[in-house]
C-alpha cells in the first residue's frame, strides 16, 4: 500500500527538519482497522474544511452522468469534462475493465454525449488496476468534474507514523503518477516533515514543502493554506491518511485569469476506532469495495486479515497471531489468513468466525491457537465443534488450547469424535500437524 511505502520513507526524517532518503521496504504490521472513502466522498469532506477541489458531482447511471455534464457545461461551455470511475484503488487511469476491455478508468472528454457513452461502459463493470489485483473492483458510481488547465502536478500526503507517535507530511514535486514508482526510482524527490502534535503544523514547514514541490512564488501562500487546512481535516476527522495526487497548480479554462492551487484527486482513510465520534462519516462506508470476509468479520466483532497461503489461523491476540504464522512458516507451511477473536467472544462469535476463516477457498487446513485468559477455552471449543459439524467441513482442523478451562475444552474436542479434528499439545506440535495434514 502507498501508505506503508511512504510511512517507511518518513521514518528517515528527523522531527522538525526536512530530509531526503530512499524508503526501505515496508514490514508487516498487525491488523489496522480503517475504512476508505470514494474520491467524490473525500472531496465532499474536504470542501467542509476549505480545501479547494474541482467543481463536479457523482452519478450512478449514464443519464445522471449526462445531466451532471450538462450542468457543468452550462456554466463553462468551453471546459473539458473529466469522467472518473469510483473505486477504492489508485492507478485508475491506467486500468482496464474486465467485461468490455475498455482501457482507462479516467477519461478526459469534450462533449456531453461522450460522458454518457463512456459512463455506460464504466458503470456495472469491473475495473482492474495495479492496486486491485486481478479480481478488480466493480464500478457503481462515476464522478464528473469540470476540467482544469493544469500547469504542474505535485504529490502531498499526511500519514500516521508510529516512530514519531504522530503525523508526518510527505510531499514530492513528481505528482500525477504512481508515488510507489517515484519512491523506487527517484527517492530524492520525496521530502517529509514530522509534525509536533502539540504545536501543530508550522508555517515554516508548509513553506519548505511548498518550495520543495516547486510551486510558483505567487502560489506558495495558497499552497501553505491548503496544507494547513488538510491538517485541520486530518485531526478533525481522526484520519489515518490524507493523500492528494495530484496536488496541482491550474485554473478553470474560460473563467479564471490566473492559476491557483487545487486538490485534484484525493484518498482519505480513517481509523475505525474513532467511529463513535464520526457516525455521519462512517455512514458513507461502501462495503461493496471491501473483501466480503473483512465485512463479515467486522459484523461479527472480530479482526480478519487475508493472506496468500493455505492454512487458516484462528487466534486470540495480535501477538499470538504473529507467533502462530511465524511457526507455520518455520515448519514449511504458509498462512492463508488469520482471525483474531480478541478477549470477549462468545460461542456464537467463535462459530461465525470459523466460517469466515474456513470459507477462504485457498484454505486447506485450519489451525486454532488459543491461550485462554479472559476468553475461556471451553467456549472456543464449543463454538468450533458446532461450526465444524454445521458446515459439514472435511478440512483438517488442528486445535491447540491452553489457559482458562483448557482441560474442559480438550474434553469437548475428544467427545466430538471427529476424525479430522486434531488436538495438539503445544504450538510447535500444532504447526507440524497443520503442515503435515495438507502434504
Annotation says 217 is catalytic: no
Cα–Cα separations (whole angstroms), residue 387 to 335, 381, 397 = 21, 10, 11
C-alpha torsion sign, points 49, 54, 60, 66? positive
Long-range (24+ apart) CB contacts under 8 A made by 282-285 are 282/35, 284/37, 284/41, 285/35
Candidate list 146, 153, 180, 243, residue with the active-site label: 243
Candidate list 40, 155, 252, 304, residue with the active-site label: 155
- Asked if 327 contacts 427 with a C-beta cutoff of 8 angstroms, the reply is yes
Count of other CB atoms within 10 angstroms of residue 424: 19
Residue found by looking up cell 475493465 in the block: 97
Annotation says 155 is catalytic: yes
Cα–Cα separations (whole angstroms), residue 40 to 59, 110, 154, 268 = 10, 21, 20, 11
Three-class DSSP labels, 13-44 = CCCCCCCECCCCCCCCCCCCCEEECCHHHHHH
373 grid coordinates: 485468559
Alpha-carbon gap, residue 162 to 158, rounded angstroms? 13
Residue by residue, DSSP assigns 36-87 as: E--HHHHHHHHHHTT----SEEEESSHHHHHHHHHHHHHH-TT--EEEEE--
Q: For residue 113, give the DSSP letter.
A: H
- Asked if 230 contacts 49 with a C-beta cutoff of 8 angstroms, the reply is yes
Phi, psi of 242 (to 5 degrees): -125, 115
Active site members? 155, 243
Amino acid at each position: 500500500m502507498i501508505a506503508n511505502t511512504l510511512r517507511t520513507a518518513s521514518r528517515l526524517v528527523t522531527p522538525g527538519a526536512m530530509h531526503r532518503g530512499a524508503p526501505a521496504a515496508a514490514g508487516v504490521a498487525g491488523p489496522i482497522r480503517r475504512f476508505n472513502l470514494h474520491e467524490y466522498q473525500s472531496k465532499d469532506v474536504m470542501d467542509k474544511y476549505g480545501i479547494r477541489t474541482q467543481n463536479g458531482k457523482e452519478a450512478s447511471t449514464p443519464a445522471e452522468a449526462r445531466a451532471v455534464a450538462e450542468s457543468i457545461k452550462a456554466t463553462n461551455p468551453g471546459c473539458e469534462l473529466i469522467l472518473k470511475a469510483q473505486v477504492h484503488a489508485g492507478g485508475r487511469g491506467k486500468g482496464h475493465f474486465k467485461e468490455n476491455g475498455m482501457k482507462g478508468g479516467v477519461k478526459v472528454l469534450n462533449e456531453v454525449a461522450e460522458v454518457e457513452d463512456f459512463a455506460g461502459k464504466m458503470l456495472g463493470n469491473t475495473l482492474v488496476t495495479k492496486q486491485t489485483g486481478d479480481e478488480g473492483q466493480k464500478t457503481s458510481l462515476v464522478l464528473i468534474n469540470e476540467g482544469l488547465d493544469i500547469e504542474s502536478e505535485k504529490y502531498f500526503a499526511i500519514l500516521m507514523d508510529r516512530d514519531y507517535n504522530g503525523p508526518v507530511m510527505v510531499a514530492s514535486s513528481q505528482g500525477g503518477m504512481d508515488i510507489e514508482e517515484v519512491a523506487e526510482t527517484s527517492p530524492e524527490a520525496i521530502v517529509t516533515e514530522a509534525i509536533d502534535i502539540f504545536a501543530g503544523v508550522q508555517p515554516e514547514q508548509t513553506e519548505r514543502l511548498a518550495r520543495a514541490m516547486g510551486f510558483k512564488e505567487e502560489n506558495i501562500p495558497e499552497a501553505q493554506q491548503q496544507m494547513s487546512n488538510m491538517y485541520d481535516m486530518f485531526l478533525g476527522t481522526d484520519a489515518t491518511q490524507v493523500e492528494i495526487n495530484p496536488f496541482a497548480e491550474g485554473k478553470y479554462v474560460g473563467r479564471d485569469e490566473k492559476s491557483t492551487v487545487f486538490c485534484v484527486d484525493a484518498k482519505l482513510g480513517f481509523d475505525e476506532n474513532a467511529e463513535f465520534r464520526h457516525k455521519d462519516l462512517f455512514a458513507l462506508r461502501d462495503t461493496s469495495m471491501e473483501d466480503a470476509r473483512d465485512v463479515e468479520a467486522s459484523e461479527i466483532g472480530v479482526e480478519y486479515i487475508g493472506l496468500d497461503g493455505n492454512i487458516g489461523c484462528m487466534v486470540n491476540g495480535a501477538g499470538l497471531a504473529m507467533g502462530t504464522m511465524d511457526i507455520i512458516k518455520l515448519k514449511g507451511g504458509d498462512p492463508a489468513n488469520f482471525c483474531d477473536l480478541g478477549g470477549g467472544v462468545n460461542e456464537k462469535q467463535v462459530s461465525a468466525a470459523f466460517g469466515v476463516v474456513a470459507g477462504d477457498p485457498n484454505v486447506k487446513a485450519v489451525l486454532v491457537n488459543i491461550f485462554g485468559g479472559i476468553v475461556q477455552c471451553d467456549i472456543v471449543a464449543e463454538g468450533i465443534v458446532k461450526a465444524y459439524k454445521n458446515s459439514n467441513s472435511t478440512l483438517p482442523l488442528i486445535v491447540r488450547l491452553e489457559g482458562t478451562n483448557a482441560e474442559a475444552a480438550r474434553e469437548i474436542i475428544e467427545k466430538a469424535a471427529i476424525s479430522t479434528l486434531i488436538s495438539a499439545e503445544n504450538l510447535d506440535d500444532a504447526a507440524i500437524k497443520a503442515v503435515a495434514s495438507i502434504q
